[in-house]
Amino acid sequence: MWEKSSLIKALFALVPGIDVRVSKTPGHTKKMNFFKVGKAFTLVDMPGYGYRAPEDFAEMVESYIQERHNLKRTFLLLDSSIGIQEADLIAVEMCEELGIPYVFVMTKIDRSRAAVLLMQFLQLQEFIKTKTMGCFPQPFLASSVNFTGIHLLRCFLAHVTGTLPKIG
């Protein structure tokens, strides 16, 4: 299972009517896919920007992101065993330049050795501290295989979309 679609499937496994297809090969998503989460919000699954990205990726994604004034958050996924890649730096730069709020999600944490995961997470924290300008993105750790971190991401999504139930 590949990380982006698998993560979306894990996040919305409890939401009726959301059917996320997961391919065994990376780079399968070529166009934007829209998932309506009840009346609360719409999640947009975009093609990956690194390995096997579609040729029209930059123009498709950049124009969409620039025109979305109701965009709440962009999730940049990092493989926990690899960390930040050159393509991630370009995505961060775009988010920073356009003032798009974003977060990092380190995926596949079930596959990384603890020492590697810790090293990559510390490098990510240092990157956030020294290389990001105004967004100060929140880092998350997640596994779509054993659901580690999924509940926290669900809570974060509910918070940023304003769908947390009011207390009192």
pLDDT, tens digit (0-9, with 9 covering 90-100), for 36-57: 887 788 888 877 666 566 566 6
- What pLDDT is stored for residue 148 in this prediction? 95
Higher local confidence (pLDDT), 136 or 82? 82
What Å distances lie between residue 105 and 45, 102, 150, CA to CA?
A: 14, 10, 10
Q: For the chain, which domains are there?
A: 50-160 (3.40.50.300)
- What pLDDT is stored for residue 128 in this prediction? 93
What Å distances lie between residue 44 and 33, 126, 167, CA to CA?
A: 6, 29, 29
